Amino acid sequence: MTIETAPAPTTQPTAHDAGRPVMAAPRVVGLACRNCGRPEPLGPSYVCSACFGPLEVAYDKDVVRETVSREAIEARPPGLWRYLEFLPVDAPPTHGLRVGSTPLIPAERLGPALQIESLWLKDDTRNPTLSFKDRAVAVAAARARQFGIDTLACASTGNLAGATAGAAAALGMPAYVFIPADLEPAKIDHALAYGATVVPIEGTYDDVNRLCLEVADETGWGFVNVNLRPFYAEGSKTLAFEIAESLGWRSPDVIVAPIASGAMFTKLAKGFGELADAGLIERRPIRFVGGQPAGCAPVATAWEAGTTDVQPVRTPETIVRSLAIGNPADGRYSVELANASAGSIEAIPDEATAAAIRQVAALEGIFSETAGGVTVAAADAARKRGVIRDGDEVVALLTGNGLKTPDARLLGLEEGTVAPSIRPSLSAFEAWLESRS
């Protein structure tokens, strides 16, 4: 089969190009099936025509290795496009949101509380629409424009709705976001604020996703996590790139991340692997720890049972709606990654998630949404299990802002945290203060 390739540049670099990505030869060579390896042409496609397995972007690793360097990356502006050689886009887009380059923060108070000596928090609550989904959507949107697609869409458990809506607004594209009708109101309002058309669907996320498969075929819209999924998923690799660069071009001992579909979890491993393939970091073992809410934990259940046969959860029962995917597309691959890396996948009760949200906010000043609570609680569980060991350097990912799930932190509290109002007098304040001691 003939594979479509990206065109080689027609101009030579000049002094003004210092630090900019320069491609000496095509590096994106097409798509390939993750299951059977069958090559497919580059295009808005997501499923293998032979075995119906998932498609992934295929790169020429030799070209990447010959054209990328630490020095070139470090000379570029902040943002995910500084890692262009590893992404399926011909050139950095000239329009769009400024995504990525979020901080890696030493958790100097949270770490000791979890008995983890060296803990870092990758704070992706600071992306433009307040979640890591901005990374995936940025790549999908850039590729959609190259394909001539004029409308963005998605099936979402919440964060992706805002990310797709925000990206489309910045690019002047219409957006349609399909969501479960019972999604958190804050996430619905977030998408509406950017001018997106929100389509509430009666049922679970998996019901929404099945509908979007049909709509994508009928309309030709660019569904970022359907027909653009191979490109969309590549955006999550930039988390690994930024972590390695922030650590001085090395990998940590343990990565802890939430699992919904499992795409981000597996792409983290791919990202570190690609850095090693290109000679930018030393190849060393990394244990991957995933977290799922106990009320929708098909991947954690399979891992605990010692199987890669991930059984769908028909009716999720959890406050962590952003991870409530009952039939995760990359579930099996997530189990395989945890096993191959001597990691684990932890099922976290909602009460532990809420407690972790409060703990991170109180100790580190970061208000995370429910997925971040699951991640921190998973780090705690993995430490107690022995997967995280003495002296390990651990990076935990906080993937969304708590303002999207403001009520979740209250679960497990006997009463609200806002005190009754008092009269505007010093004596009233002193009496109030004494009553709290």
pLDDT in tens, 377-413: 999 999 999 999 999 999 999 999 999 988 888 888 8
pLDDT in tens, 265-291: 999 999 999 999 999 999 999 999 999
Flag whether pLDDT at 363 surpasses 80: yes
Flag whether pLDDT at 148 surpasses 50: yes
Among 3.40.50.300, 3.40.50.1100, 3.30.70.580, 3.30.420.40, name the CATH number for the domain at 104-129+236-410. Answer: 3.40.50.1100
The architecture (CATH level 2) of 15-96+133-232 comes to 3-Layer(aba) Sandwich (3.40)
Q: What are phi and psi of 396, to 5 degrees?
A: -110, 135
Read off the pLDDT of each residue in 364-375 and give the average, rounded to a whole number. Answer: 97
**pLDDT score, position 415:** 63
Name which of 304, 212, 225 is nearest 260 in CA terms.
225
Read off the pLDDT of each residue in 248-261 and give the average, rounded to a whole number. Answer: 98
Name which of 157, 404, 111, 137 is nearest 259 in CA terms.
157
In whole angstroms, what is the distance from residue 45 CA to residue 226 CA?
A: 8
Read off the pLDDT of each residue in 298-317 and give the average, rounded to a whole number. Answer: 97
- The set of residues, in sequence order, having a beta carbon less than 8 Å from that of 273 and lying 6+ positions away, is 283
In whole angstroms, what is the distance from residue 72 CA to residue 21 CA?
A: 7
- For 11, other C-beta atoms within 10 Å of its C-beta total 7
Q: How confident is the model at residue 371 (pLDDT cuts 50, 70, 90)?
A: very high
**pLDDT score, position 158:** 85
Question: Is-same-fold flag (15-96+133-232; 104-129+236-410)?
Answer: yes
Read off the pLDDT of each residue in 24-29 and give the average, rounded to a whole number. Answer: 73
What are the domain boundaries of the chain? 15-96+133-232, 104-129+236-410
- For helices 263-277 and 237-246, the axis angle rounded to 10 degrees is 50
pLDDT in tens, 310-358: 999 999 999 999 999 999 999 999 999 999 999 999 999 999 999 999 9
Q: How confident is the model at residue 14 (pLDDT cuts 50, 70, 90)?
A: very low
pLDDT in tens, 113-146: 999 999 999 999 999 999 999 999 999 999 999 9
| Share above pLDDT 90 across residues of the chain, in percent, rounded to a whole number | 86
- Beta strands 344-348 and 104-106 are unpaired
Q: Is the pTM of this model over 0.85?
A: yes
**pLDDT score, position 155:** 95
Q: What is the layout of strands, in order, in the sheet containing 344-348?
A: 104-106, 118-123, 393-398, 254-258, 287-293, 344-348
pLDDT in tens, 31-71: 999 999 999 999 999 999 999 999 999 999 999 999 999 99
Q: How confident is the model at residue 26 (pLDDT cuts 50, 70, 90)?
A: confident
The pLDDT mean for the chain works out to: 92
**pLDDT score, position 419:** 76
Read off the pLDDT of each residue in 230-248 and give the average, rounded to a whole number. Answer: 98
**pLDDT score, position 409:** 86
Read off the pLDDT of each residue in 92-106 and give the average, rounded to a whole number. Answer: 96
